[in-house]
Structure formats: C-alpha cells, structure tokens
Amino acid sequence: MAGEEIRSLTTPLSDADIESLRAGDRVRLSGVILTGRDAAHKRLIDLLDAGQTLPVDVRGQVIYYVGPSPPRPGMVIGSAGPTTGGRMDSYAPKLMALGLKGMIGKGARSLPVREAMQKYKCVYFGAVGGAGALLSRYIKSAEIIAYEELGTEAIRRLVVEDFPVIVVNDAQGNDLYEEGRKQYAQE
C-alpha cells in the first residue's frame, strides 16, 4: 500500500494519470465529474446496445456512483456519498471501452470489471460510504444533464474541489480491499 502522501488530480484524467495511480493512494479530485447509478447506467447501456449515441461524453471522465439527497434551499446538493459499485459491474466495461477513466463508489468490483480496468486504463476510487453530509462539502456545483425524470438517479454534472477518495482498484490489477484484509486478518 502507498504512503501518507496525498495526490491532487484534476479531471479529465489522462492515461498517464491512471498509470501513475496505485491501490491505496489517497487522492483529492478536482474538476468536473459525472454522476450515475443503476437506472442511468441501464439507460446508457440500452442506448449503446441499440447502436445510438450517449447523451454524455464519457471520454476522460469520472463517474461518481451517487444518488444525492435533495438540497435545502440555497445549498448546492444534499448529502452525497457513494453507493455500492458492484451493482454497476455489468455496465462498467462498456463505458470504459468508450474512454471512461474513473469510477467512484464503495464496495468490491467483479473480476471482469477489474480486468477491463487494466485493458482500458481506468481506476476505481473508493469514497467513504455513509459520509454523505461531509462529502457534500467538496461539491461546488451540481446540474442535471440527463434523465431528470429519474430524480436522485438522474445524471448530474458536478464540479468538485479536493474531493477525498482512495484508489481501490488500479489499472495494474491491485485491489486495496484484498491487500488491506490480508494485512489485518488474524484467522
């Protein structure tokens, strides 16, 4: 696992950015990121399967798996922590093939997704699940750009500043969850 140093990265992410990251690296992300979870992913992949173009360009982008709570008046967004990434496993490789460079979620990804991350150069960042109130502070603007009727599951364009994440799966095949567990297991 990597040291205590915290990396700062700004989106869009390049292949060089991705190749420099290792599982366990703590990263502060700034710039534009997209949101999308179950329902939006299903729609995107249905479009791809039908040979149509997507309403968003995912090249170089990071998708944050989040369904925020509604903002109070005057606020940018409500609570906005990650949802379980594994539910997007069946969709993610197709987006990586289009140039998606990062995903933010929590929880383990399947082997096919981790293999696709190596093939297409993509990383999976973990954000702290259940820390939605705290994480919302790093989100500076939020705007719905597709599927407004999906409510919390709509695709949003967020501008984030120093959003705290940790690299769970890198493009070399390492997995923070496996390494972390091995280090502390006493079985």
If you search the block for the tokens 């079985």, which residue do you land on? 187
Q: How many helices (H) and strands (E) does the chain have?
A: 6, 7
**Element (H or E) spanning 20, and its range?**
helix 15-20
146 is a site residue for another protein (CB under 8 A): no
Judged on CB neighbours under 10 Å (0-12, 13-18, 19+), 69 is middle
How many residues of this chain interact with another protein, rule: CB under 8 A? Answer: 46
169 is a site residue for another protein (CB under 8 A): no
158 is a site residue for another protein (CB under 8 A): no
56 is a site residue for another protein (CB under 8 A): no
111 is a site residue for another protein (CB under 8 A): no
Please list every residue from 115 through 144 that binds another protein, using CB under 8 A: 126, 128-134, 136-137
Residues in the chain: 187
Confirm if 63 and 34 have CB atoms less than 8 A apart.
yes
- Closest distance of CB 35 from another protein, Å: 11
Among 39, 48, 144, 146, binds another protein (CB under 8 A): 39
28 is a site residue for another protein (CB under 8 A): no
Q: Which is nearer to another protein, 12 or 129 (CB)?
A: 129
Q: Which is nearer to another protein, 32 or 128 (CB)?
A: 128
Spatial distance between the Cα atoms of 39 and 20, rounded to a whole number of angstroms: 32
Among 12, 31, 60, 86, binds another protein (CB under 8 A): 86
Spatial neighbors of 104 by CB under 8 A, at least 6 apart, are 29, 33, 62, 63, 64, 65, 66, 82, 124, 125, 126, 127, 165
Q: Which amino acid is at 75?
A: M
Q: Which residues bind another protein (CB under 8 A)?
A: 4, 24, 39, 66-72, 78-81, 83-84, 86, 106-108, 126, 128-134, 136-137, 150-153, 166, 176-177, 179-187
